[in-house]
Structure 1
């Protein structure tokens, strides 16, 4: 490791003495990728400022089986909490955000999932030129590398795809892999799911059409055991020797510095007990994530004048959409107890602590199903009618949701199979407890996570005061729109039918969650359960949305020399887990910055 790359409170003065071209605020999922790409040019000096610490060789981060130890742990997690959510019976939810180099890619469930092409094409329909599936797809490939067998383009591990998918990257820094093993009971689940859904398995679900049941791909390196592949291991550690890349940890950026011409000059930061200023000759870039990036804009006087006034912050530039449009996937679940004599504990992983090899293999199945295949034509049209009355979406978003609900070839609900008991009752408040420890139980368990793809509900995140260390007010907007509840109810009813199939029913002891007395075919009962058993999926995005807060080149509207590059710029909800798309957005952003600033093509 080069001692000239990493800085902390003890070497702060050295960091502050450097003349930077770019300052990147946030060494997380997008920020570290961006820093790696910009410093490919040795003449460009980049400084990254991160509030968390370096966690290199930290087993809690690197070992997938120790994931739970990072959640709700102040060493790794910001421990944010939502405002009381009316849609979930006023529950307050844990909002997990990574507090380390690597950001949330260092504490998440490592799911590598790409959305439907129509999700990305909607960005361009909303007026963001250059942001279509066709134009973003090369950036998915650029960041990813699929684990193969002996260098051949054949995936290792368990795979349901008969043909080798063609839409994977093979040279990117983020390493992805299929599960190495599958629980014996899950083979029965696969047959039951296929039969109940009557949807063919996709040949290449990463090509923009993720419909049907397929394998859960994880950002895990498996060439020597199992190791998390995340932003720090992929984009920082291999580049420690670059003299033009400097990273400051344990430093909190408090505001963006603006001159009288509304140009970003640099940032103000708190480190080693005092405030400091540091400047960038070209640009300041916010990559602090969907909570912190809008918060920094507001602390800098950029936002809704009324909200800023209430927080005792002078408004420098009115931009009312800052912090609005928060999109989040609502997640509910269903769990069954299994007959242990027919489904032994050797074949089912129980919890983080009980897994002796690779917890990620406990989540090996993923599926997307069309809503129109799960409900009657009458219920479908009733749901569509509700969407037309939604006041939280733009007209183009409503049209897109309606088209998806009616389209038998478009996935409106996502399912994840996991060999564990999912406890949202406890886990909503502390996600380290989302997977229940059932090591002392008589039975083993199997669960489905169920979520929507095009969430209609919207929330917000805003400063609560001018204090840069005060917790933000995060309104997840969970189940604010009743249509989201209807979709989750339909998903749970389908999952219940899967477990009634003859392929699995002889091994099912009972349904544990919800209790057997809840009739999931009755929408009223289903809705009551969903509102009581739904939480955040940690897929927050949209709070500095393209077209609203930033333009199509991710420049903050009305301010020069300031961009946002992270999940907050994604303008509307996308299918599935968002990490792969955040990497792709950051890859494209790096090229946009290079174009705009006419950077030299001389690279390392």
Structure 2
């Protein structure tokens, strides 16, 4: 829609048409008497095959058309490496470029939000919204056999617009991965949606089971029927001046929501004064409390005949895969090819702060995972010099075919920041994720690297997949000691693209920016609805929790307008 056709004022103005913003817009515009405007800086990619085709996901991050391409500051805990921090640019936000993992948090990781002073935000309070945002389709008998899926509770599968399904992945890598965990006694204990996640499991993906296309915020919450609503306006690639009659909902994401607040005069007065910005509200917590699931990648050469996306160096194979996908949506382009597991951790660190006491409880809680592992059927190369472009990670730099384990922290203790350096909104903020500022994170992740090595030596994973007897590996160093494992972590950690927490929902005196109604402190009609409000990062991929929070936020907004 052209900005020339805009109304002078709207009941609700949503700044950011990303994962959360489109959820809120869809729900609020169901009231045909309420006018809703969504302003999105990026493009509409709904008809773009790069976005809709699951197997092309590696071509999105690092591409200017789809990714804001933010870069971290050099990280002292990572030998001064700066990292790519990919963020979705366009309708649907990061749900348009992510790896489509629909991994759900543990009940304990959401109950921690309640303990931090947020009434109405227990797992029990949020659980209905995990059902509301999406529909999980049961796997076929064939897929159950290939991927060893055993626990699917249909009562938890939901009824919302995001469509989730199971693919067969890359065959033997899936079955061998699951069987190796069984050999180690790490069996799937519950349906992963249940709030209790331990052992190995095959996660569903946000892929439509029939069309085999990405199901994301723009395709699901702004579909052809919703686009017909005369009271909903979605404006892309534009800067406008317009008034809100009821509320402004800031949904620009973990990096840009605090940026917009600070350039508008909402933030720490010391920073704003230094930049010559008039202080409207002194809220020092803006841009603080940043958290991410730091992850380290270990790649192993696979034997001949084992499927790997590295094979797509061969253009004939690429052509065959495209042809197969066009016929029936099957093959490697119709899947995200990943599987997950969560494991327990028995070690923890003593710390007296309230937030770290709660984190300590999460680490040692019975049945609560402290680490997550995701597999990727190809190489991830972090030995290259330029790590500021995500597309470099998955480029097949080595001639062999590989299988990768990605080890990620579940509950990081380290905290980072995200702050502006200029009054100019076009200048990206300075983003310091603060990896390993707390020493326990390095200790935990280093031990996870050692465990991954043990796992890869376990049958049937070892003999079924790995090139024998001297297959290549990335990195070449074997984590045979804790010191060697720490070296690998410091040299190979990358972002999991799960940054959150920069406008946290907590009491103001504890560094909070929004209250439990998601209203910015000191305001009556400014809310934030995105991952920046997470007070603590939940274990696992955060997309499902962003959707759930946005669904709950829409209900809060409607309640407060009564």
Superposed pair shares fold, TM > 0.5: yes
Provide the C-alpha distance between the structure 2 equivalents of 1:321 and 1:511, rounded to a whole number of angstroms.
49
Q: 1:237 aligns with which of 223, 229, 249?
A: 223
- Do residues 532 (structure 1) and 501 (structure 2) align? no
- State the 1:590 CA deviation: 0.3
Q: 2:127 aligns with which of 129, 133, 137?
A: 137
Q: 1:480 aligns with which of 425, 431, 437?
A: 437
Provide the C-alpha distance between the structure 2 equivalents of 1:119 and 1:411, rounded to a whole number of angstroms.
10
- State the 1:143 CA deviation: 0.6
Provide the C-alpha distance between the structure 1 equivalents of 2:485 and 2:21, rounded to a whole number of angstroms.
41
Provide the C-alpha distance between the structure 1 equivalents of 2:335 and 2:181, rounded to a whole number of angstroms.
19
2:552 corresponds in structure 1 to 588
Q: 2:58 aligns with which of 68, 86, 90?
A: 68
- Do residues 462 (structure 1) and 450 (structure 2) align? no
Provide the C-alpha distance between the structure 1 equivalents of 2:99 and 2:157, rounded to a whole number of angstroms.
21
- Do residues 384 (structure 1) and 349 (structure 2) align? yes
**Partner secondary structure for residue 480 of structure 1:** coil
Structure 1 alignment gaps of length 5 or more:
1-6, 252-269, 271-275, 373-379, 599-604
Provide the C-alpha distance between the structure 2 equivalents of 1:445 and 1:414, rounded to a whole number of angstroms.
20
- Do residues 227 (structure 1) and 213 (structure 2) align? yes
User: What TM-score, normalized by structure 1, do the two folds share?
Assistant: 0.85
**Partner secondary structure for residue 485 of structure 2:** helix
Question: Which runs of structure 2 are paired with 1:336-415 in the superposition (5 Å)?
Answer: 336-340=300-304, 344-345=305-306, 347-350=307-310, 356=321, 357-359=331-333, 361=335, 363-372=337-346, 380=347, 383-385=348-350, 388=351, 394-395=353-354, 397-415=355-373
Structure 2 CA distance for partners of 1:454 and 1:130, relative to 1, 3 Å? same
- Do residues 176 (structure 1) and 131 (structure 2) align? no
- Do residues 206 (structure 1) and 193 (structure 2) align? yes
**Partner secondary structure for residue 328 of structure 1:** coil
Structure 2 CA distance for partners of 1:497 and 1:283, relative to 1, 3 Å? same
1:211–1:368 CA contact under 8 A, matched in 2: yes
Q: 2:203 aligns with which of 182, 191, 216?
A: 216
- More strand, by proportion: 1
- State the 1:95 CA deviation: 1.1
Provide the C-alpha distance between the structure 2 equivalents of 1:352 and 1:318, rounded to a whole number of angstroms.
53
1:195 corresponds in structure 2 to 183
- State the 1:495 CA deviation: 0.9
- Do residues 42 (structure 1) and 28 (structure 2) align? no
1:46–1:246 CA contact under 8 A, matched in 2: yes
Structure 2 CA distance for partners of 1:45 and 1:306, relative to 1, 3 Å? same
Provide the C-alpha distance between the structure 2 equivalents of 1:352 and 1:165, rounded to a whole number of angstroms.
36
Provide the C-alpha distance between the structure 1 equivalents of 2:334 and 2:471, rounded to a whole number of angstroms.
24
User: What TM-score, normalized by structure 2, do the two folds share?
Assistant: 0.91
2:23–2:550 CA contact under 8 A, matched in 1: yes
- Do residues 108 (structure 1) and 82 (structure 2) align? no
Provide the C-alpha distance between the structure 2 equivalents of 1:361 and 1:400, rounded to a whole number of angstroms.
37
- Do residues 558 (structure 1) and 545 (structure 2) align? no
- Do residues 520 (structure 1) and 510 (structure 2) align? no
1:158–1:178 CA contact under 8 A, matched in 2: no
Aligned residue pairs: how many? 538
Provide the C-alpha distance between the structure 2 equivalents of 1:155 and 1:237, rounded to a whole number of angstroms.
29
- State the 1:331 CA deviation: 0.7
- Do residues 302 (structure 1) and 266 (structure 2) align? yes
**Partner secondary structure for residue 108 of structure 1:** coil
Structure 2 CA distance for partners of 1:72 and 1:25, relative to 1, 3 Å? same
Q: Deviations over 1:230-280 (max 9, x none)?
A: 1000011231100000011112xxxxxxxxxxxxxxxxxx3xxxxx42101
Structure 2 CA distance for partners of 1:155 and 1:36, relative to 1, 3 Å? farther
Provide the C-alpha distance between the structure 2 equivalents of 1:242 and 1:496, rounded to a whole number of angstroms.
54
- Do residues 98 (structure 1) and 88 (structure 2) align? yes
Q: 2:428 aligns with which of 447, 464, 471?
A: 471
**Partner secondary structure for residue 529 of structure 1:** helix
Provide the C-alpha distance between the structure 2 equivalents of 1:103 and 1:469, rounded to a whole number of angstroms.
18
1:421 corresponds in structure 2 to 379
- State the 1:157 CA deviation: 8.4
**Partner secondary structure for residue 112 of structure 1:** coil
Question: Which runs of structure 2 are paired with 1:498-517 in the superposition (5 Å)?
Answer: 498-506=455-463, 507-509=466-468, 510=470, 512-516=472-476
Q: Deviations over 1:318-342 (max 9, x none)?
A: 00000100011101011111221xx
1:576 corresponds in structure 2 to 540
**Partner secondary structure for residue 194 of structure 2:** coil
